[in-house]
Structure 1
Amino acid sequence: MTIQLEIDKDKLMYLFEQGVLCAADFRCLNSISKQQVAELCLSNCAKHLQSTSCIIPINMHKLN
């Protein structure tokens, strides 16, 4: 059974940011919605990458 619903763009972004909803969890019913969801996903991903620091130490010394 599926449920069709409409959701505000800002609310959808909030759910993506909180990690409680992923675009893979649903499907868009038209191409405009699909494009908007793709843009939200990319924006959320970019925010996450900008705020996440690298936790893997990088050795800057040359090995002999």
Structure 2
Amino acid sequence: MRTIARPVTGPAPVVASTGLGSPPTRAGGSVGPDTTQIAAGAAVIAAAAVGGTLLLRRRASGAQDS
């Protein structure tokens, strides 16, 4: 079977059926941040910073438990 090449006359048509816009996840948009979650997150970060500082100071001082 032999195929005959046709000359290209222009760009191929593009049909967009889906994929435009954001998915309907119901997250974000006009939903504001919860102050309780922000406070809890800040407390976790502060605790990690304090714990990291204490561990670094202990390591730098050369303290050992034995």
TM-score normalised to structure 1 length: 0.38
| Structure number with bigger Rg | 2
Structure ranking higher in helix proportion? 1
TM-score normalised to structure 2 length: 0.37
Between 1 and 2, higher relative CO (CA 8 Å, sep ≥ 6) is seen in 1
